[in-house]
Structures are given as C-alpha cells and as structure tokens.
C-alpha cells in the first residue's frame, strides 16, 4: 500500500473511491424522472365493477321473473274471448265443434242416444250437475253433465285405465274450486283425457297437454259459445246431490232412448231467457 511522507497510508486511493461513488451518483436519474413514460400504477376500480355486476344481476333477475309472466299473459290473452275473437278455441289444434239445439230436456229416467262420447251437447236432463269446481271421484250421469255445459261450464273427463293418480291430480288442480267447471272419470273413453264445453270437445293423450288449459280459457263462461248466459252452476237443493250424484250408466241404450234431434221433446222456454243471446 503506498504511504505518504509521514509514513501513513496515502489517501489517494480513498479519494479515487469517493470520486467514483460521486460520479455514479451523478449518473442516477432524478426522482422526478423515475418511471418517465410509464406513469403511476393504475388502481382497479373494484367498487365500480362490483356495483355494475350487482345492477346487471338485478336486471337479469327481474327479466327472469317478468318474461315468463309476460309470456303467460300474452298466451292467456290469445285464448281469451272478446268481441273481435269470439271463439278462440278455433285456434286450438284438435278441437271439434258441433252446433246443437238448446233447452231440450229429458226426465231423470230417460237416456239420450248421444252422437259423441263423452257428449257435449244435445238433449239433457232438466237438472244440471253441480259445476262449481267439483271433482267427482266416480263417473256421473252424462245427461246431467251436458246440462252443466249449457250453462257455460267446462267438463273434464278422463279414462281411469289410462290416467294415473299423478295425472288425476294434475287435472283436478285445473278444476278444484274453479267456478263453472267439473271433472269426473269416464269409463271406456277412447283417449286419456277429453274436455267438453257446449258444442266443443278436445281429446288429448296426456293430462299435461297445454291445450287443456287453453280450452278452459277459451270456453269457460264464453258468452259467445253457450246458450244460457247467466245460468247458475250451483247445487239444486233436493234435486242434485254432488256428494251422491246420479251414476254413470254404461248399459246398452233402451229402444226408447231420446234421439239427438229431440223428437217428441218440447223446448223448455224457461231455459231460454233473453240473456241466452250472447251480449258483449
């Protein structure tokens, strides 16, 4: 190591080191120049993003709830009778429509040679089957049920050999407590389900068929399609007991069965009120 004249180590090396450190320090960029051209680190707006996600989610939830309701409403309106669409059932695939004369009454001991099975018009008993949303567990006399149709009711029938309990429950939910409807088993029915209103019928293979609901919407109390607008569906005390109704008769028709033209019957004027003429 070099020494000075006084024998101490020379400071030239230390001086050089100090100069080198200073020079290196001089080459460092000013603090203000640090990161020039890159800019400060950008913060992610998590709160804003979260708020947007919540709003979008709410919009989606509202749409998820409202769209089906709108579609259901639009579907209901499509099959709701009006002055300009008096018989919406004509748009339902499979509906059969037949014109029948009204107010032709038979006695409780008489039977009618109906042209359809189940029947949905023609001569019928003077007493109607209670049709205030009654689900009859057993088959009922057809002549009483047809009179209910004349009052604006919809009658749901099903083949007990083709519809299981789940299907029966599905159908019952459309009737139970619903005014101007009734439901009963119908032995020998050629399809699983048949739905009737006055002059109209729809046969389907499943209780889940959406056309059943469309039929009910289109024809239950449709003032343009049944004769006795304003007639009651309530029980007639002393004449019809919904807890013990006249039973279904599957025996062969007797020779004196009333024919569909009602020959020999006199129309009951009491069953043909002015209100029977459809009004808006």
Q: What is the pLDDT of residues 136-185, one digit of tens each?
A: 999 999 999 999 999 999 999 999 999 999 999 999 999 999 999 999 99
φ, ψ (nearest 5 deg) of residue 13: -65, -45
Q: What is the pLDDT of residues 112-124, one digit of tens each?
A: 999 999 999 999 9
Q: b or e along 238-272 (b: 16 or more beta carbons within 10 Å of the residue's beta carbon)?
A: eebebeebbebeeeeeeeeebebebeebeeeeebe
In 3D, which of 98, 93, 105 has the Cα closest to residue 120?
98
φ, ψ (nearest 5 deg) of residue 189: -55, 135
Q: What is the predicted pLDDT for the residue at 279?
A: 34
d(CA 23, CA 4): 26
Does the pLDDT at position 273 exceed 60?
no
Hey, how many other C-beta atoms are within 10 angstroms of the C-beta on 116?
17
Q: What is the predicted pLDDT for the residue at 275?
A: 37
d(CA 90, CA 79): 9
Predicted TM-score (pTM) of this structure: 0.73
Residue whose pair of structure tokens reads 């569909």 in the numeric block: 260
pLDDT, average across residues 102-108: 96
d(CA 77, CA 87): 12
Whether the ω angle into residue 78 lies within 30 degrees of 0, i.e. cis, is no
Tokens (6 digits) for 217: 């919407």
Alpha carbon separation from 143 to 7, 117, 127, 136, 197 (Å, rounded): 141, 12, 9, 15, 14
Helix 165-175 crosses helix 211-219 at what angle (to 10 degrees)? 20
Q: What is the pLDDT of residues 38-68, one digit of tens each?
A: 566 778 888 888 888 888 888 888 878 776 5
Does the pLDDT at position 211 exceed 90?
yes
Q: What is the pLDDT of residues 214-262, one digit of tens each?
A: 999 999 999 999 999 999 999 999 999 999 999 999 999 999 999 999 9
pLDDT, average across residues 85-111: 97
Angle at CA of residue 30, ends 27 and 34, nearest 5°: 110
Hey, how many other C-beta atoms are within 10 angstroms of the C-beta on 2?
8
């Amino acid at each position: 190591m070099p020494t000075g004249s006084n024998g101490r180590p020379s400071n030239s090396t230390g001086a050089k080191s100090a100069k080198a450190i200073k020079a290196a320090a001089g080459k460092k960029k000013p603090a203000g120049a640090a990161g020039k051209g890159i800019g400060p680190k950008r913060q992610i707006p998590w709160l804003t993003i979260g708020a947007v996600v919540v709003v979008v989610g709410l919009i989606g939830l509202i749409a998820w709830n409202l769209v089906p309701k709108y579609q259901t409403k639009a579907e209901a309106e499509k099959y709701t009778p009006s002055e300009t669409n008096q018989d919406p059932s004509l748009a339902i695939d499979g509906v059969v429509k037949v014109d029948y004369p009204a107010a032709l009454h038979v006695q409780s001991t008489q039977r009618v040679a109906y042209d359809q099975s189940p029947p949905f018009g023609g001569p019928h008993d003077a007493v109607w089957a209670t049709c205030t949303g009654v689900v009859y567990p057993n088959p009922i006399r057809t002549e009483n049920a047809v009179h209910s149709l004349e009052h604006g009711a919809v009658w749901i029938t099903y083949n007990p050999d083709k519809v299981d309990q789940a299907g029966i429950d599905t159908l019952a939910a459309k009737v139970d407590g619903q005014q101007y409807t009734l439901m009963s088993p119908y032995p020998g029915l050629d399809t699983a389900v048949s739905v009737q209103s006055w002059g109209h019928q729809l046969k389907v293979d499943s209780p889940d068929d959406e056309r059943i609901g469309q039929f009910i919407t289109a024809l239950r109390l449709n003032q343009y399609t049944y004769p006795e607008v304003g007639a009651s569906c309530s029980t007639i005390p002393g004449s019809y007991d919904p807890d013990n109704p006249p039973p279904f008769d599957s025996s062969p028709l007797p020779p004196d069965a009333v024919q569909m033209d009602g020959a020999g019957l006199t129309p009951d004027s009491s069953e043909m009120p002015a209100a029977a003429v459809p009004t808006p």
